[in-house]
Chains A and B, each alone.
Chain A
Amino acid sequence: MNSIYPNRKTIRFLLKILGVQILILSYSCVANPDFDIPPLDCAEGTGANLDFRGLDSLYQGETLQILDDFVLEGYVVSSDIASNFFGVLMIQDKLENPNQGLRFEMDQSQSHLQFPPGTKILIKLNGLYLGKTKHEYKLGGTFSSFGNISVGRLPSLKVKDHLFSSCAEEKAVPTVTTISQLGQLPSNTLVKLENMEFLDEELGETFAVEQEETIRMLQDCDENQVELVTSGYADFQAEPLPSGRGSVTGVLVRDGNDYQLMIRSLGDIDFSKERCPEVIREFTSNKIFISELADPDNNAAARFVELYNAGDSSLDLNLWSLRRYTNDNTEIGSEIDLSGYTIEENGTLVISPNTQEFQMVYGFLPDLGISTNSPADSNGDDNLELVDPFGKVIDAFGVVGEDGSGTNHEFEDGRAVRNPDIIEANPVYTFTEWTVFNDTGDSGTTKQPQNAPQDYDPGTH
């Protein structure tokens, strides 16, 4: 009978075979299913051999492919984390206070996962296309249209041949600036504006209309304005504009001559503060009044009106006006809008219908030159009213509806001057506040025609 058990030799041999198998099992060259986290794939920090200004020497006036081994170093300042930027990286040349920025166009979505904002990167230029528009350099692939080549998006996998993250800890910081200084800053760089808010009338709107690039206006507390441009495909496109005030960080871009900001994500807007206090630009005062009216006997072209501020602070005459009611008319004949003028404390505002003549006669320019037949060009029998921004008559000369001829408010060929002791305006004409010279002398006036310049003192009261 055969033994069914293997003999010892066979057993030993079997064990050897099993041993070999186990050895192979443990040390085979088959990749183990467990992998360690790889070290970050970082480019060395050095290697740059060109700065952004060097692009000037490469660019020859039209889009070209760079064929030299130049390497630029820069900092990514844009991000497509919220899809507001798409297919582009904005890169500035320095960590802080950049001199220049550029656009890098590429066909890579979600590039923030590789090049988060702030990242220091090296750009290998060899093989890239370089183009320039009015305000910016562009790097990337091509965009061909009817035989014209311009810079377009670099194909996705080719990006890996040209952009290398340095994994440096330091991250680009925005340039803190103000709206008025934006013009001095290079575009495609990161800026930060403080004390910004959206315009009142845009509150309630969303950041952008769906699928349409949309501009919203930002202003500072002084009502300086700048455009915020947002893609209609941004993740936050449908979010309502925040109502508060605070800082906005974004990439400065230019559209023609307009400066625009583009934020990377909603995190770039920090509007936690109250909105700017409302700017009051319409002021009333009863210290402003008509102080002198001139209709020189010798020179009708040297007529003028002088206003005086008896108060102890200057006043913005925004929306103030001076009305003339010609003869006995009750309709306004002419009106001067005094907006834009300020009258200093104890100062005057001289308005002349004939600037040239006024200067010739009185030796200096009037504060405000206007046309003939204006309230400053009265022939002495008209009535005047000084009206504040709220439509209230603050001061008056004469009585509306009453022709001045032969009354106590006629200054034909003469002069009406407010008495020096008057320090407040009076919407009702009160003869006792005035000294009136004319060619008739009726109703208590003085018949004494006046001649320019010697009988007048425009600019002083």
Chain B
Amino acid sequence: MRTAMFAVVFCYATYLTGQQNTIISGTVKNGFTGKPVLSTNLNLNGITKNLEIDSEGQFSILAPPDGNQTLEISAPGFVTKRFEIYLDGNAIELGDVLLEKDITSEKNDNLITLSDNDFGDDDDLPSASMGILQSTRDVFLNRAAFDFGQAFFKVRGYDSQHGQVLLNSLPMNKLWDGRPQWNHWGGLNDAIRNQEFSHALTTNPYGFGGILGTTNINTKPSGFRPGLRISSSASNRTYRGRIMATYSSGQSGSGISYAVSSSRRWAKTGYVDGTLYDAYSFFGALEYKLNPKNSLVATAVLAKNRRGRSAALTQEIYDLMGNRYNPYCGNQNGKTRNSRERVIFEPFFMLNHFMESKKWTWVSGIMYQDGITAKSRLGYSNAPNPDPTYYKNVPSYHLNGAIGADFLNMALALKGFKNHSQVPWEQLYLSNTNTADTSASYILQEDKVQERQLSAASSMSWKINSKFKLSLGANFKNSAVNQYAEIKDLLGADVYWDKDSFSNTRNDLQGSLAKRTGDRVGYNFGLAMTRFRGFGQLEIQGNSWDGFASASVSSLNLQRNGLFQNERYVENSFGKGEELALSGFGLKSGFTYYITGRHSLSFHGGSMQRPPTIQNIFVNPRENNLVVPDLQKVNITTADANYYLRLPDLTGRISIFYTRFQHETDINFFFSDTGLGSDFVQEVVTGLDRLHKGIELGMEYQISNDVKLSVVGNLGDYIFASDPNIQLYFDTSGEQQDLINLEGNVDLGVAKVKGLKLSQGPQTALALGVEYRSPKYWWMGATANYLDENYASISTIVRTNSFLLDPETGVPHPEAIPENTARLLNQQKMDEGYLLNLVGGKSWLIKGKYISTFLSVNNLFDSVFRTGGYEQSRNANFGQMQQDNLSGTPSFGPKYWFSYGRTYFLNLAISL
């Protein structure tokens, strides 16, 4: 059977004159079962086509006579077959093409456990983008997802918002931050297995796409593997156990097909202490094929995901407690309770219409999604900070005080911290019973985002002739968001006084001061958003080249509506704010030249202008209607050049890319001791440019039928490319002598960050892989990975001139000379990371039942390194930062995320 794989059988040849096209035909069958494989793709010269295939698995295509070519036949869940053929007008009959089940596809399940670990849980941190890559066959992207991903590598250094995720062509990225939320269908791996990924600027038929790429998840049940599949997994990463079952009816003559899937994932704790995992998901899809060309699909997805979050740690705390330490949790009644849980529950329902014909494909759909994302945290007023890692609680506090180090007290603090490094739940309850009026000093509150979305999309592709294809599409999204904090638990108290304890001002002037469980506290506002997007795309196919051009336009309307009148912003907190209408456009184009069937070059370029994401439009949306003044659109200019190699035993690509983001806006919130005074501020960063450039390499070498080697590398350089302007906003209700000024904002001028590195994961990543695939249906692989040039995200405020000022005197600190400031602000590279990952699997066919196991062991050598982090902006004046750094263990040093140590993932699946 295997020998047949590479055999090209020329059954017969018909003489055809001149430039006649070549007929290539064959029958695609499952090598395991001998049954026809129906959803097959064919790739000739790098051009992918969906095969017209009949129920027997037979296909037949016409190809221009072009000499030596590489033909790839692939199908989801099967190993791709590659044929070297010579096209000269003589028909080629491939006979039975037996596709072998790709037993390595089980590793996609593994990816989910890896990508679950995204520290993008915190809105202001870069989010990993691995989920989008899971369907790719590109060896570079594969490595990026499965191996580098553990260290928060980001393809081209892009944030996940630049990857567009579609579900049956409907855009799923959130308007608020532009990011896709994979938890919406988390755990439903079988149901979302059918994905189309378009890399970077390449075309997709549904829309303009993101610069990282576009993934369309197709839930048409007729495309599912028929039958029942049950799998169960064990892991020590984010969850301990998973059980998943999917049943798909397959196609039938009646035109109805359906699929249901359900999964449950759980963990008392994941790798990091107290990171509980509690998720269940249900999926159902029903398809009715009106006729061979048209089908209607209804899809419902309900996935609830509850997780315990973990914290970034300073080096001091990591050194004391290690990479499993989680200061967010503590013991209550003998059980671990995490103060920071995140619950995502945003079920959706969609209806789609698919039409496919020889010349047309047309996909339309509408979706309704309604749900809540809730993140809990402890609130406290007139009570000590319950965070055990609060700077006053940890040993370094006794080193960095203004009166000098006290080593004896530090030794006591060290013991105290080691003995009491968890959230003291019982103490919080005790405190709440000891207040004078039984009001709460501590509450557990949830920051909730309630969003109701309606979206619609329609896109069509028209194959005008063999040379031209035109795609047009439009989509619409309307979202009503309500963001607020809610009391989840009064922790034994009777009432909570809803005030800002620093300024003693009320958060909800028109409501009651007394709040109880379930009441909204702190802030409450609505956002109404409507977005239209339209796109058009023309693809041209030449003899040895192809090209495309795409254009898009978009409009975004949004308006904030304050539901609380805040005493600190009496004038502009309540009611509707300014109605914003913003627009965007994009152009992109690409050209591919096929030198031969084995070598090709492709170039892409694009330019886009779009509004900032909504989270960067409002200065302080929780408390007022203020919009960033002179809001600038983000300009993205990007280009890449790629060389593809497709030899029989060596495939791969080399790409270079260059992307410039201009005029970005960024908003940060923190308490800061600036050179002008101390306050809780909103830092508005405008005019921020970033430059991402680099080289990607991915090569796979088939040493023998069984052994494959791969080399993958990314040499990136992601830097700040401008000196942005910094403005601080703050409220003026506090005690007057502490205020920075009475206007409520101050312009700090530029931050000198140009040339500093971006915190977008490791910029250098190299991997060497070897994979052995036994004819006995087992395989294993190993990759050695090296990751470097990873930087913590910088604080911009400390790089403004205000940093030099002494807040006491208002003039520059006498020691703030360039050598000293340069030493303090020197950007530090994080550790290099080395990872050795092993994967392996085996499958059996027993009485028609397909059984497979998969095991991955990541970070075999249990190495721990910093994967990300951020500089704190507390020490925002030279004198304080210098003092804080004298001991070498600063109280407000950068906070880091640390890699997991050795972890495993084991999966067992049965298909009936």
A: which residues have CB within 8 A of B? 1-6, 10, 13-14, 17-18, 20-21, 24-25, 28-31, 33, 35-38, 40-41, 81, 107-110, 112-114, 116, 127, 129, 141-145, 149, 152-161, 165
Q: A20-B243, A142-B408, A145-B403 are in contact. Are A1 and B336 (CB under 8 A)?
A: no
Q: A13 contacts B228, CB within 8 Å? A: yes
Q: Of residues 252 to 288 in B, which have CB atoms within 8 Å of A's CB atoms?
A: 252-254, 256-258, 262-264, 266-268, 276-278, 280
Q: How far is the CA of A159 from the CA of B337 in the complex (A)?
A: 23
The yes or no answer to B458 lying at the interface (CB within 8 A) is no
Complex CA gap A145/B401 in Å reads 12
- Given known contacts A31-B276, A157-B413, A161-B415, is B333 in contact with A18 (CB within 8 Å)? no
Q: Is the pair B264, A24 in contact by a Cβ cutoff of 8 Å?
A: yes
Q: Is the CB of B403 within 8 A of A154?
A: no
For A152, the chain B residues whose CB sits under 8 A away are 406, 409
Give the residue name and chain of the B residue nearest to A211 (CB). B737
Contact A155 B413 (CB under 8 A): yes
Interchain nearest-CB distance for A334 vs B (Å): 59
Check B148 for interface membership: any CB of A closer than 8 A: no
Q: How far is the CA of A144 from the CA of B406 in the complex (A)?
A: 6
- Decide if the interface of chain B is mainly helix, strand, loop or mixed: mixed
CB pair B419–A110 under 8 Å, yes or no, is: no
Q: A153 vs B406: C-alpha distance in the bound complex, in angstroms?
A: 11
A-B contact pairs, 10 of them (CB 8 A): A4-B252, A13-B228, A17-B245, A25-B280, A31-B276, A142-B408, A145-B403, A145-B404, A157-B413, A160-B416
Task: Please report the C-alpha to C-alpha distance between residue A129 and residue B408 in the assembled complex, in whole angstroms.
Answer: 10
Least Cβ–Cβ distance between B638 and chain A, in angstroms = 43
Which residues of chain A are within 8 angstroms of B50 by Cβ–Cβ distance? none
| Residues on A with beta carbons closer than 8 Å to the beta carbon of B264 | 21, 24-25
Beyond A112-B434, A114-B434, A161-B415, whether A6 also contacts B228 by CB under 8 A is yes
User: Is B388 a contact partner of A113 (Cβ separation < 8 A)?
Assistant: no
- Which of the candidate stretches B423-431, B467-475, B751-759 sits at the interface with the other chain? B423-431
Given known pairs A114-B430, A157-B419, the reply for A29 and B243 (CB within 8 Å) is: no
Q: Contacts A4-B256, A13-B228, A17-B230 given: A30-B268 contact, CB under 8 Å?
A: yes
Query: Assuming the A-B contacts A107-B392, A113-B434, are A157 and B278 also in contact, with contact meaning beta carbons closer than 8 angstroms in the complex?
Result: no
Indicate with 1 or 0, residue by residue over B8-20, a CB within 8 angstroms of chain A CB atoms: 0000000000000
Q: Which residues of chain B from 63 to 107 have any CB-CB distance to chain A below 8 Å in the complex?
A: none
- Complex contacts, A5 vs chain B, CB 8 Å: 249
Query: Which B residues touch A153, using CB under 8 A?
Result: 409
Among A28, A40, A127, A129: residue with most chain B CB under 10 A = A28
Q: Is the CB of A24 within 8 A of B243?
A: yes
Asked whether A142 and B409 contact (CB < 8 A) given A30-B266, A158-B416, the answer is yes
Q: Provided the pairs A21-B264, A113-B435, A142-B409 are in contact, do residues A35 and B337 lie with their beta carbons within 8 angstroms?
A: yes
- Interface residue tally on B, bucketed by range: 35 or more
Tell me whether B250 and A4 are in contact (CB under 8 A): yes
Query: Are A38 and B228 in contact, CB atoms less than 8 angstroms apart?
Result: no
A155 touches B412 (CB 8 A): yes
- Is B417 touching A21 in the complex (CB atoms < 8 A)? no
Per-residue CB contact flags for chain B residues 375-399 toward chain A (1 = under 8 Å, else 0) read 0000000111000100011010110
Is the Cβ of B383 less than 8 Å from the Cβ of A113? yes
With contacts A161-B416, A165-B430 known, what are 15 further pairs, Cβ within 8 A? A4-B249, A4-B250, A6-B247, A13-B912, A21-B243, A31-B268, A31-B337, A33-B306, A113-B430, A113-B435, A114-B427, A127-B415, A155-B409, A156-B393, A157-B420
Query: B313 to nearest A CB, angstroms?
Result: 16
8 Å CB contact of B408 from A1, A6, A24, A144: A144
Q: In the assembled complex, which residues on chain B have CB atoms less than 8 Å from the CB atom of A145?
A: 403-404
* B222 nearest CB across to chain A (Å): 10
B887 at the interface (CB under 8 A from A): no
Cross-chain contact A31 with B412 (CB below 8 angstroms):
no
Q: A119's closest neighbor in chain B, by CB? A: B434
In contact, A41 and B427 (Cβ under 8 angstroms): yes
Considering the complex, give the chain B residue whose CB is closest to the CB of A142: B408
Known pairs A24-B266, A30-B268, A141-B409; A14 contacts B427 (CB<8 A): no
The answer to whether A2 touches B266, judged by C-beta atoms less than 8 angstroms apart, is no
Contacts of B427 in A (CB 8 A): 41, 114, 160
- A158 near B415 with CB under 8 A, answer yes
Distance in Å from the Cβ of B881 to the closest Cβ of chain A? 23
The residue that A156 contacts in the complex, of B249, B406, B416, with Cβ under 8 A, is B416
Q: Within 8 Å CB of A143, what residues of B?
A: 406, 409
Q: CA of A13 to CA of B247 in the docked complex: distance in angstroms?
A: 11
Contacts of A156 in B (CB 8 A): 384, 392-393, 413, 416
What 3 A-B pairs are tightest by C-beta distance, nearest first? A158-B416, A157-B416, A155-B413
Is the CB–CB distance between B384 and A108 below 8 Å?
yes
| Chain A residues positioned under 8 Å from B383 (CB to CB) | 110, 113
Q: Which of B251, B333, B409 has the most CB of A within 10 A?
A: B409
B335 interface residue, CB < 8 Å from A? yes
Q: Is B341 an interface residue (CB 8 A)?
A: yes
Contact of A161 among B266, B277, B398, B419 (CB under 8 A): B419
Which A residues are in CB contact (< 8 Å) with B228? 6, 10, 13-14
Question: Given A24-B266, A25-B280, A38-B425, are A158 and B413 also a contact pair (CB < 8 Å)?
Answer: yes
Interface centre among A3, A116, A152, A158 (most CB of B within 10 A): A158
What is the CA–CA distance of A355 and B492 in the complex, to the nearest angstrom?
A: 79
**Is B846 an interface residue when CB atoms closer than 8 A count as contact?**
no
* B417 contact from A25, A114, A157, Cβ within 8 A: A157
Bound-state CA distance A116–B431 (Å) is 9
Cα-based distance from A152 to B411 in the complex (angstroms):
13
Convert B801-835 into 0s and 1s, putting 1 for each residue whose CB lies closer than 8 angstroms to a CB of A: 00000000000000000000000000000000000
With known contacts A6-B247, A38-B429, A157–B388 Cβ distance under 8 A: yes
A154 CA to B411 CA, complexed, in Å: 11
CA distance A6 to B252 in the complex (A): 12
B726 to chain A, nearest CB (A): 32
Contact of A6 among B230, B249, B263, B397 (CB under 8 A): B249
Q: Are B262 and A21 in contact (CB under 8 A)?
A: yes
**A10 nearest in chain B by CB position:** B228
